[in-house]
Amino acid sequence: MFTFETTHHALWAEEVARDHGVPAEVVPAPPAARARCSLALETLPADVERMAALLDGAGVPFGRWDGVSA
């Protein structure tokens, strides 16, 4: 799961996913993720690394949360 500082970044990430054919969905960020924005981007496990590379390439700031609280 990808987390973001702002809603703008979450929606930008969704657009990047859509533009590259990566199945992804904007969902509420779990409280345990401690995201500054209340939204997160979820994708299939097989697409996580590709999505991270696409977000990096597009300049979208993001964090990653694996579902394990710190």
Residue 10, H or E segment: helix 7-19
**Residue 25 and residue 30: Cα distance in Å, rounded?**
14
Question: How far apart are alpha carbons 56 and 29 in whole angstroms?
Answer: 20
For the segment 26-65, what is each residue's pLDDT rounded down to a tens digit?
Answer: 999 988 888 788 899 999 999 999 999 999 999 999 999 9
Tens digit of each residue's pLDDT (9 = 90 or more) over 40-51: 999 999 999 999
Domains identified in the chain and CATH numbers: 2-57 (3.30.70)
39-43 and 2-3 beta bridge pairing: antiparallel
Q: For the whole prediction, is pTM greater than 0.85?
A: yes
Q: Which two tokens stand for residue 9?
A: 């970044």
